[in-house]
Chain A
Protein backbone atom coordinates (compact mmCIF):
# COMPACT_ATOMS: atom_id res chain seq x y z
CA UNK A 1 0.00 0.00 0.00
CA UNK A 2 1.22 3.44 -0.65
CA UNK A 3 0.41 7.05 -0.16
CA UNK A 4 -0.38 9.50 -2.86
CA UNK A 5 0.00 13.09 -1.91
CA UNK A 6 -0.21 16.30 -3.78
CA UNK A 7 0.71 19.54 -2.20
CA UNK A 8 1.91 23.03 -2.77
CA UNK A 9 3.64 25.43 -0.53
CA UNK A 10 1.66 28.11 -2.29
CA UNK A 11 -1.66 26.49 -1.86
CA UNK A 12 -2.66 27.31 1.65
CA UNK A 13 -6.25 28.29 2.32
CA UNK A 14 -7.26 31.53 0.87
CA UNK A 15 -5.47 30.91 -2.38
CA UNK A 16 -7.88 28.43 -3.85
CA UNK A 17 -8.63 30.61 -6.83
CA UNK A 18 -5.15 29.97 -8.06
CA UNK A 19 -5.61 26.23 -8.09
CA UNK A 20 -5.81 24.43 -11.39
CA UNK A 21 -8.41 21.74 -10.72
CA UNK A 22 -8.16 18.93 -13.16
CA UNK A 23 -4.99 20.21 -14.67
CA UNK A 24 -3.28 17.58 -16.78
CA UNK A 25 0.31 16.78 -15.96
CA UNK A 26 2.58 17.92 -18.70
CA UNK A 27 0.16 20.55 -19.98
CA UNK A 28 0.16 22.97 -17.12
CA UNK A 29 3.16 23.46 -14.91
CA UNK A 30 2.50 21.35 -11.85
CA UNK A 31 1.81 23.15 -8.62
CA UNK A 32 3.38 21.54 -5.65
CA UNK A 33 4.64 18.01 -5.30
CA UNK A 34 3.38 14.58 -5.96
CA UNK A 35 4.63 11.84 -3.74
CA UNK A 36 4.05 8.26 -2.91
CA UNK A 37 4.59 7.35 0.70
CA UNK A 38 4.18 4.14 2.56
CA UNK A 39 3.08 3.78 6.13
CA UNK A 40 1.88 7.33 6.58
CA UNK A 41 -1.22 7.91 8.58
CA UNK A 42 -3.75 10.50 9.48
CA UNK A 43 -1.91 10.93 12.74
CA UNK A 44 1.30 11.62 10.87
CA UNK A 45 -0.49 14.25 8.82
CA UNK A 46 -1.88 15.87 11.93
CA UNK A 47 1.55 15.94 13.49
CA UNK A 48 2.99 17.34 10.29
CA UNK A 49 0.54 20.24 10.29
CA UNK A 50 1.18 20.89 13.95
CA UNK A 51 4.92 20.75 13.45
CA UNK A 52 4.57 23.25 10.62
CA UNK A 53 2.47 25.42 12.93
CA UNK A 54 -0.05 25.69 10.14
CA UNK A 55 -3.06 27.93 10.31
CA UNK A 56 -5.60 26.10 8.20
CA UNK A 57 -8.70 23.99 8.18
CA UNK A 58 -8.69 20.46 6.86
CA UNK A 59 -11.54 18.34 5.65
CA UNK A 60 -11.29 14.70 6.60
CA UNK A 61 -13.67 12.29 4.95
CA UNK A 62 -13.72 8.95 6.66
CA UNK A 63 -15.92 6.05 7.49
CA UNK A 64 -17.72 8.17 10.03
CA UNK A 65 -18.59 10.89 7.56
CA UNK A 66 -17.05 14.28 7.03
CA UNK A 67 -15.10 16.06 9.72
CA UNK A 68 -13.06 19.19 9.93
CA UNK A 69 -9.90 19.88 11.87
CA UNK A 70 -8.67 23.40 12.50
CA UNK A 71 -4.96 23.87 13.02
CA UNK A 72 -3.36 26.92 14.48
CA UNK A 73 0.24 27.39 15.54
CA UNK A 74 0.97 23.84 16.42
CA UNK A 75 -2.37 22.94 17.93
CA UNK A 76 -5.68 21.50 16.88
CA UNK A 77 -7.90 24.27 18.13
CA UNK A 78 -11.27 23.07 16.91
CA UNK A 79 -12.91 20.11 15.25
CA UNK A 80 -16.35 19.24 14.01
CA UNK A 81 -18.15 16.18 12.75
CA UNK A 82 -21.82 15.91 11.85
CA UNK A 83 -22.67 15.02 15.44
CA UNK A 84 -19.88 16.41 17.54
CA UNK A 85 -17.69 19.42 18.05
CA UNK A 86 -14.53 20.15 19.95
CA UNK A 87 -12.34 17.49 21.46
CA UNK A 88 -14.89 14.71 21.04
CA UNK A 89 -15.05 15.45 17.33
CA UNK A 90 -11.26 15.47 17.05
CA UNK A 91 -11.09 12.10 18.76
CA UNK A 92 -13.72 10.69 16.47
CA UNK A 93 -11.84 11.90 13.40
CA UNK A 94 -8.50 10.62 14.66
CA UNK A 95 -10.04 7.21 15.12
CA UNK A 96 -11.01 6.95 11.46
CA UNK A 97 -8.84 4.52 9.57
CA UNK A 98 -9.39 5.43 5.96
CA UNK A 99 -10.64 8.26 3.88
CA UNK A 100 -9.26 11.49 2.52
CA UNK A 101 -7.51 14.48 3.97
CA UNK A 102 -7.44 17.82 2.25
CA UNK A 103 -7.23 21.45 3.11
CA UNK A 104 -10.40 23.45 2.75
CA UNK A 105 -11.68 26.95 3.09
CA UNK A 106 -13.98 26.98 6.09
CA UNK A 107 -15.11 29.82 8.32
CA UNK A 108 -12.71 30.01 11.22
CA UNK A 109 -14.28 29.09 14.58
CA UNK A 110 -15.11 31.95 16.88
CA UNK A 111 -13.50 30.26 19.83
CA UNK A 112 -10.99 27.60 20.64
CA UNK A 113 -12.77 24.45 21.73
CA UNK A 114 -9.81 22.14 22.22
CA UNK A 115 -7.24 22.69 24.93
CA UNK A 116 -5.52 19.32 24.77
CA UNK A 117 -2.27 19.13 22.84
CA UNK A 118 -2.29 17.23 19.58
CA UNK A 119 -0.03 14.63 21.20
CA UNK A 120 -2.60 14.18 23.93
CA UNK A 121 -5.38 13.81 21.41
CA UNK A 122 -3.42 11.22 19.49
CA UNK A 123 -2.71 9.27 22.64
CA UNK A 124 -6.38 9.24 23.44
CA UNK A 125 -7.18 8.23 19.87
CA UNK A 126 -4.65 5.43 20.27
CA UNK A 127 -6.63 4.16 23.18
CA UNK A 128 -9.80 4.23 21.15
CA UNK A 129 -8.01 2.41 18.39
CA UNK A 130 -6.73 -0.14 20.83
CA UNK A 131 -10.16 -0.80 22.17
CA UNK A 132 -11.55 -1.29 18.71
CA UNK A 133 -8.81 -3.80 17.96
CA UNK A 134 -8.35 -2.49 14.44
CA UNK A 135 -5.18 -1.36 12.82
CA UNK A 136 -5.08 2.31 12.05
CA UNK A 137 -2.12 2.07 9.78
CA UNK A 138 -3.10 3.77 6.62
CA UNK A 139 -1.68 4.12 3.21
CA UNK A 140 -2.47 5.98 0.09
CA UNK A 141 -2.90 4.21 -3.21
CA UNK A 142 -1.06 5.65 -6.14
CA UNK A 143 -3.23 7.54 -8.55
CA UNK A 144 -2.77 8.61 -12.10
CA UNK A 145 -3.34 12.25 -11.41
CA UNK A 146 -5.83 14.77 -10.21
CA UNK A 147 -9.46 14.38 -11.09
CA UNK A 148 -11.87 17.01 -12.18
CA UNK A 149 -13.48 17.13 -8.80
CA UNK A 150 -10.32 17.88 -6.94
CA UNK A 151 -10.04 21.15 -5.21
CA UNK A 152 -6.42 21.13 -5.90
CA UNK A 153 -3.92 21.95 -3.28
CA UNK A 154 -3.20 19.41 -0.67
CA UNK A 155 -4.85 16.09 -0.82
CA UNK A 156 -3.98 12.84 0.77
CA UNK A 157 -6.08 9.78 0.36
CA UNK A 158 -5.97 7.24 3.10
CA UNK A 159 -6.75 3.61 2.78
CA UNK A 160 -6.35 1.16 5.54
CA UNK A 161 -3.15 -0.78 5.34
CA UNK A 162 -3.28 -4.43 6.02
CA UNK A 163 0.36 -5.26 6.12
CA UNK A 164 1.17 -7.42 9.07
CA UNK A 165 3.72 -6.23 11.51
CA UNK A 166 4.06 -2.71 10.20
CA UNK A 167 5.29 -0.36 12.88
CA UNK A 168 3.22 2.50 14.08
CA UNK A 169 2.25 3.76 17.45
CA UNK A 170 -1.28 2.69 16.77
CA UNK A 171 -0.11 -0.86 16.54
CA UNK A 172 0.64 -0.96 20.23
CA UNK A 173 -1.67 -0.97 23.12
CA UNK A 174 -1.77 2.44 24.66
CA UNK A 175 -4.38 1.67 27.26
CA UNK A 176 -4.74 4.11 30.05
CA UNK A 177 -2.32 6.62 28.63
CA UNK A 178 -5.13 9.05 29.06
CA UNK A 179 -8.52 8.89 30.67
CA UNK A 180 -11.19 7.33 28.50
CA UNK A 181 -12.62 10.10 26.38
CA UNK A 182 -16.22 9.30 27.10
CA UNK A 183 -15.93 8.35 30.74
CA UNK A 184 -15.26 10.12 33.96
CA UNK A 185 -11.96 10.11 35.73
CA UNK A 186 -12.60 6.78 37.37
CA UNK A 187 -14.83 5.37 34.74
CA UNK A 188 -14.12 3.35 31.65
CA UNK A 189 -11.61 0.58 31.84
CA UNK A 190 -10.78 0.87 35.47
CA UNK A 191 -7.38 0.20 36.94
CA UNK A 192 -6.94 -3.43 36.08
CA UNK A 193 -6.51 -3.43 32.32
CA UNK A 194 -4.11 -1.89 29.89
CA UNK A 195 -0.39 -1.87 29.33
CA UNK A 196 0.42 0.70 31.97
CA UNK A 197 0.05 0.25 35.67
CA UNK A 198 0.79 3.90 36.22
CA UNK A 199 0.05 6.92 34.07
CA UNK A 200 0.94 10.19 35.70
CA UNK A 201 1.18 13.65 34.26
CA UNK A 202 3.06 16.43 35.98
CA UNK A 203 2.67 20.12 35.25
CA UNK A 204 5.61 22.47 34.72
CA UNK A 205 5.78 23.13 38.46
CA UNK A 206 5.85 19.43 39.26
CA UNK A 207 2.28 19.30 40.42
CA UNK A 208 0.37 16.16 39.53
CA UNK A 209 -2.24 17.12 36.98
CA UNK A 210 -3.57 13.66 36.18
CA UNK A 211 -2.77 10.39 37.82
CA UNK A 212 -3.72 6.79 37.54
CA UNK A 213 -1.93 4.40 39.83
CA UNK A 214 0.97 6.67 40.75
CA UNK A 215 2.05 7.96 44.11
CA UNK A 216 3.34 11.23 45.46
CA UNK A 217 6.73 9.58 45.90
CA UNK A 218 6.83 8.61 42.23
CA UNK A 219 6.03 12.20 41.28
CA UNK A 220 8.99 13.38 43.36
CA UNK A 221 11.24 10.78 41.79
CA UNK A 222 10.12 11.68 38.28
CA UNK A 223 10.50 15.41 38.84
CA UNK A 224 14.00 15.11 40.27
CA UNK A 225 15.18 12.53 37.75
CA UNK A 226 13.92 14.71 34.93
CA UNK A 227 15.81 17.69 36.32
CA UNK A 228 19.03 15.70 36.67
CA UNK A 229 18.75 14.39 33.14
CA UNK A 230 18.08 17.87 31.86
CA UNK A 231 21.19 19.18 33.62
CA UNK A 232 23.33 16.32 32.35
CA UNK A 233 22.18 17.04 28.81
CA UNK A 234 22.91 20.74 29.16
CA UNK A 235 26.39 19.98 30.44
CA UNK A 236 27.10 17.81 27.45
CA UNK A 237 25.71 20.41 25.07
CA UNK A 238 22.85 18.28 23.88
CA UNK A 239 19.41 19.37 22.84
CA UNK A 240 16.62 19.47 25.38
CA UNK A 241 15.80 16.33 27.29
CA UNK A 242 12.76 14.68 25.75
CA UNK A 243 12.39 11.15 27.06
CA UNK A 244 13.92 8.38 29.09
CA UNK A 245 13.20 4.72 29.49
CA UNK A 246 14.56 3.12 32.62
CA UNK A 247 14.92 -0.61 33.07
CA UNK A 248 14.97 -1.74 36.66
CA UNK A 249 15.73 -5.05 38.24
CA UNK A 250 11.96 -5.36 38.46
CA UNK A 251 9.94 -3.27 36.08
CA UNK A 252 10.38 -0.30 33.81
CA UNK A 253 9.52 3.35 33.72
CA UNK A 254 9.14 5.76 30.83
CA UNK A 255 9.22 9.49 31.31
CA UNK A 256 8.75 11.96 28.52
CA UNK A 257 8.18 15.65 28.16
CA UNK A 258 5.02 16.89 26.57
CA UNK A 259 3.74 20.32 25.69
CA UNK A 260 4.79 23.29 27.74
CA UNK A 261 7.01 21.77 30.39
CA UNK A 262 4.68 18.92 31.23
CA UNK A 263 6.02 15.48 32.02
CA UNK A 264 4.34 12.14 31.61
CA UNK A 265 5.46 9.10 33.57
CA UNK A 266 4.40 5.59 32.68
CA UNK A 267 4.99 2.31 34.47
CA UNK A 268 4.39 -0.38 31.87
CA UNK A 269 3.16 -3.77 32.86
CA UNK A 270 5.67 -6.59 32.25
CA UNK A 271 3.81 -7.92 29.25
CA UNK A 272 3.41 -4.56 27.56
CA UNK A 273 4.75 -4.14 24.05
CA UNK A 274 6.49 -0.78 24.02
CA UNK A 275 8.15 -0.86 20.65
CA UNK A 276 5.83 1.61 18.98
CA UNK A 277 5.97 3.99 21.92
CA UNK A 278 9.76 3.77 21.89
CA UNK A 279 9.80 4.63 18.23
CA UNK A 280 7.54 7.56 18.79
CA UNK A 281 9.70 8.86 21.62
CA UNK A 282 12.93 8.10 19.81
CA UNK A 283 14.14 5.72 22.48
Chain B
Protein backbone atom coordinates (compact mmCIF):
# COMPACT_ATOMS: atom_id res chain seq x y z
CA UNK B 1 0.00 0.00 0.00
CA UNK B 2 1.45 3.32 -1.02
CA UNK B 3 1.25 6.28 1.38
CA UNK B 4 -1.50 7.94 -0.61
CA UNK B 5 -3.60 4.79 -0.39
CA UNK B 6 -2.95 4.55 3.32
CA UNK B 7 -4.05 8.12 3.81
CA UNK B 8 -7.20 7.57 1.79
CA UNK B 9 -7.97 4.41 3.72
CA UNK B 10 -7.54 6.22 7.03
CA UNK B 11 -9.70 9.10 5.87
CA UNK B 12 -12.44 6.73 4.82
CA UNK B 13 -12.41 5.03 8.21
CA UNK B 14 -12.34 8.36 9.99
CA UNK B 15 -15.40 9.53 8.08
CA UNK B 16 -17.24 6.42 9.26
CA UNK B 17 -16.14 7.00 12.82
CA UNK B 18 -17.49 10.54 12.67
CA UNK B 19 -21.00 9.16 12.25
CA UNK B 20 -20.79 7.65 15.71
CA UNK B 21 -21.04 11.10 17.19
CA UNK B 22 -24.68 11.19 16.19
CA UNK B 23 -25.24 9.25 19.40
CA UNK B 24 -25.27 11.55 22.40
CA UNK B 25 -22.56 10.78 24.90
CA UNK B 26 -20.00 9.50 22.44
CA UNK B 27 -16.90 11.61 22.88
CA UNK B 28 -14.95 9.99 20.08
CA UNK B 29 -13.58 6.78 18.71
CA UNK B 30 -10.51 5.20 17.23
CA UNK B 31 -9.54 2.02 15.47
CA UNK B 32 -6.44 -0.10 15.93
CA UNK B 33 -5.27 -3.08 13.96
CA UNK B 34 -4.41 -6.32 15.67
CA UNK B 35 -0.77 -5.41 15.33
CA UNK B 36 -1.39 -2.30 17.44
CA UNK B 37 -1.38 0.27 14.69
CA UNK B 38 -3.73 3.22 14.96
CA UNK B 39 -5.66 3.22 11.68
CA UNK B 40 -7.93 6.21 12.24
CA UNK B 41 -9.29 8.41 14.94
CA UNK B 42 -12.19 10.78 15.46
CA UNK B 43 -11.61 11.95 18.98
CA UNK B 44 -10.50 15.20 20.65
CA UNK B 45 -6.90 16.19 20.16
CA UNK B 46 -6.29 15.74 23.87
CA UNK B 47 -5.71 12.11 23.09
CA UNK B 48 -2.43 11.83 21.22
CA UNK B 49 -1.99 9.25 18.51
CA UNK B 50 0.73 7.41 20.37
CA UNK B 51 -1.43 7.19 23.48
CA UNK B 52 -4.39 5.87 21.54
CA UNK B 53 -2.18 3.28 19.85
CA UNK B 54 -0.71 2.27 23.18
CA UNK B 55 -4.10 2.04 24.88
CA UNK B 56 -5.54 0.30 21.84
CA UNK B 57 -2.87 -2.35 21.85
CA UNK B 58 -3.69 -3.12 25.48
CA UNK B 59 -7.38 -3.28 24.75
CA UNK B 60 -6.64 -5.65 21.91
CA UNK B 61 -4.63 -7.76 24.29
CA UNK B 62 -7.66 -8.06 26.52
CA UNK B 63 -9.36 -9.79 23.62
CA UNK B 64 -6.35 -12.03 23.13
CA UNK B 65 -6.35 -12.84 26.83
CA UNK B 66 -9.90 -14.12 26.71
CA UNK B 67 -9.24 -15.86 23.40
CA UNK B 68 -6.48 -17.83 25.07
CA UNK B 69 -9.15 -19.31 27.31
CA UNK B 70 -11.45 -20.09 24.40
CA UNK B 71 -13.65 -17.00 24.59
CA UNK B 72 -13.73 -14.97 21.42
CA UNK B 73 -14.45 -11.39 22.36
CA UNK B 74 -17.13 -9.65 20.31
CA UNK B 75 -17.94 -6.59 22.35
CA UNK B 76 -17.07 -5.15 25.73
CA UNK B 77 -18.09 -2.21 27.85
CA UNK B 78 -15.41 -0.95 30.19
CA UNK B 79 -16.25 1.46 32.97
CA UNK B 80 -13.85 4.10 34.30
CA UNK B 81 -15.75 6.46 36.58
CA UNK B 82 -17.68 8.79 34.34
CA UNK B 83 -16.12 7.36 31.23
CA UNK B 84 -16.77 4.17 29.38
CA UNK B 85 -15.10 2.52 26.45
CA UNK B 86 -17.18 0.40 24.16
CA UNK B 87 -15.05 -2.13 22.33
CA UNK B 88 -16.08 -3.98 19.23
CA UNK B 89 -13.91 -6.58 17.61
CA UNK B 90 -13.75 -6.29 13.85
CA UNK B 91 -11.79 -8.25 11.30
CA UNK B 92 -8.17 -7.28 11.69
CA UNK B 93 -8.61 -4.96 14.64
CA UNK B 94 -10.79 -3.30 17.18
CA UNK B 95 -13.14 -0.35 17.24
CA UNK B 96 -12.85 1.64 20.47
CA UNK B 97 -15.59 4.14 21.31
CA UNK B 98 -15.11 6.55 24.18
CA UNK B 99 -18.29 7.50 26.02
CA UNK B 100 -18.65 10.29 28.53
CA UNK B 101 -21.64 10.30 30.84
CA UNK B 102 -25.01 8.80 29.98
CA UNK B 103 -25.56 7.21 26.62
CA UNK B 104 -28.35 5.36 24.91
CA UNK B 105 -26.71 1.97 24.91
CA UNK B 106 -28.95 0.27 22.34
CA UNK B 107 -28.31 3.17 19.96
CA UNK B 108 -24.61 2.92 20.63
CA UNK B 109 -24.62 -0.80 19.93
CA UNK B 110 -26.45 -0.34 16.66
CA UNK B 111 -24.19 2.51 15.57
CA UNK B 112 -21.12 0.46 16.46
CA UNK B 113 -22.44 -2.51 14.51
CA UNK B 114 -23.01 -0.42 11.42
CA UNK B 115 -19.68 1.35 11.60
CA UNK B 116 -17.90 -1.89 12.36
CA UNK B 117 -19.41 -3.46 9.29
CA UNK B 118 -18.50 -0.45 7.17
CA UNK B 119 -14.86 -0.22 8.21
CA UNK B 120 -14.10 -3.93 8.55
CA UNK B 121 -12.67 -4.33 5.05
CA UNK B 122 -10.44 -1.27 5.39
CA UNK B 123 -9.17 -2.33 8.79
CA UNK B 124 -8.48 -5.85 7.57
CA UNK B 125 -6.54 -4.39 4.67
CA UNK B 126 -4.60 -2.09 6.98
CA UNK B 127 -3.75 -5.06 9.16
CA UNK B 128 -2.58 -7.06 6.18
CA UNK B 129 -0.68 -4.41 4.30
CA UNK B 130 0.54 -1.76 6.72
CA UNK B 131 3.60 -2.34 8.86
CA UNK B 132 2.97 -2.90 12.54
CA UNK B 133 3.20 -0.06 15.01
CA UNK B 134 6.61 0.72 16.50
CA UNK B 135 7.44 -1.44 19.49
CA UNK B 136 8.03 1.57 21.73
CA UNK B 137 5.55 4.26 20.79
CA UNK B 138 6.60 7.77 21.52
CA UNK B 139 4.57 9.38 24.24
CA UNK B 140 3.95 12.49 22.18
CA UNK B 141 4.08 13.43 18.49
CA UNK B 142 1.96 11.64 15.99
CA UNK B 143 4.41 12.06 13.13
CA UNK B 144 5.33 8.41 13.29
CA UNK B 145 1.82 7.35 12.36
CA UNK B 146 1.15 8.49 8.82
CA UNK B 147 -2.18 6.75 8.65
CA UNK B 148 -3.55 8.42 11.73
CA UNK B 149 -5.80 11.29 10.85
CA UNK B 150 -5.36 14.46 12.82
CA UNK B 151 -8.56 15.64 14.45
CA UNK B 152 -10.14 18.93 13.62
CA UNK B 153 -8.72 21.80 15.65
CA UNK B 154 -10.69 23.28 18.45
CA UNK B 155 -11.77 20.02 19.99
CA UNK B 156 -11.86 20.13 23.71
CA UNK B 157 -11.41 17.56 26.37
CA UNK B 158 -14.53 15.65 27.35
CA UNK B 159 -16.21 17.00 30.46
CA UNK B 160 -14.70 15.68 33.63
CA UNK B 161 -11.31 14.99 32.09
CA UNK B 162 -8.71 16.17 34.53
CA UNK B 163 -5.65 14.02 33.99
CA UNK B 164 -3.80 12.93 30.97
CA UNK B 165 -0.81 10.66 31.27
CA UNK B 166 -0.22 11.91 34.76
CA UNK B 167 -0.50 15.56 33.84
CA UNK B 168 -3.23 17.90 34.96
CA UNK B 169 -5.32 19.15 32.10
CA UNK B 170 -7.06 22.50 32.36
Q: How far is the CA of A239 from the CA of B75 in the complex (A)?
A: 21
Q: Are B76 and A221 in contact (CB-based, < 8 A)?
A: no
Q: Are B66 and A233 in contact (CB-based, < 8 A)?
A: no
Most buried by B among A228, A236, A281: A236
Of A19-27, A169-177, A243-251, the segment with at least 4 beta carbons within 8 Å of chain B is A243-251
Q: Are B81 and A237 in contact (CB-based, < 8 A)?
A: no
Asked if A235 lies at the interface with its beta carbon under 8 angstroms from chain B, I say yes
Q: Are A235 and B77 in contact (CB-based, < 8 A)?
A: no
Known: A228-B65, A245-B76. A239 touches B81 (CB 8 A): yes
Known: A237-B163, A238-B83, A241-B80. A248 touches B66 (CB 8 A): yes
Asked if B71 lies at the interface with its beta carbon under 8 angstroms from chain A, I say yes
Q: Are A241 and B165 in contact (CB-based, < 8 A)?
A: no
Contact with A along B144-164 (1 / 0, CB 8 A): 000000000000000001111
Q: Are A221 and B165 in contact (CB-based, < 8 A)?
A: no
Contacts of A251 in B (CB 8 A): 71
Q: Are A240 and B80 in contact (CB-based, < 8 A)?
A: yes
Contact with B along A204-224 (1 / 0, CB 8 A): 000000000000011001001
Contacts of A238 in B (CB 8 A): 80-81, 83
Q: Are A221 and B81 in contact (CB-based, < 8 A)?
A: no
Contacts of A243 in B (CB 8 A): 78-79
Known: A224-B65, A251-B71. A231 touches B77 (CB 8 A): no
Asked if A232 lies at the interface with its beta carbon under 8 angstroms from chain B, I say yes
CB under 8 Å from chain A, chain B span 35-90: 46-47, 51-52, 54-56, 58-59, 61-62, 65-66, 68-69, 71-85
**Distance (whole angstroms) from the CB of B90 to the closest CB of chain A:** 14
Q: Is the interface of A mostly helix, strand, loop or mixed?
A: mixed
Q: Are A235 and B55 in contact (CB-based, < 8 A)?
A: yes
Q: Are A247 and B75 in contact (CB-based, < 8 A)?
A: yes
Asked if A282 lies at the interface with its beta carbon under 8 angstroms from chain B, I say yes
Most buried by A among B75, B78, B81: B78
Asked if A112 lies at the interface with its beta carbon under 8 angstroms from chain B, I say no
Q: Are A241 and B71 in contact (CB-based, < 8 A)?
A: no
Asked if B95 lies at the interface with its beta carbon under 8 angstroms from chain A, I say no
Contact with A along B95-107 (1 / 0, CB 8 A): 0001000000000
Known: A217-B69, A225-B62. A241 touches B74 (CB 8 A): no
Q: Are A236 and B47 in contact (CB-based, < 8 A)?
A: yes
| A-B contacts, 8 listed (Cβ < 8 Å) | A221-B65, A221-B66, A233-B85, A236-B85, A238-B80, A239-B82, A241-B78, A253-B71
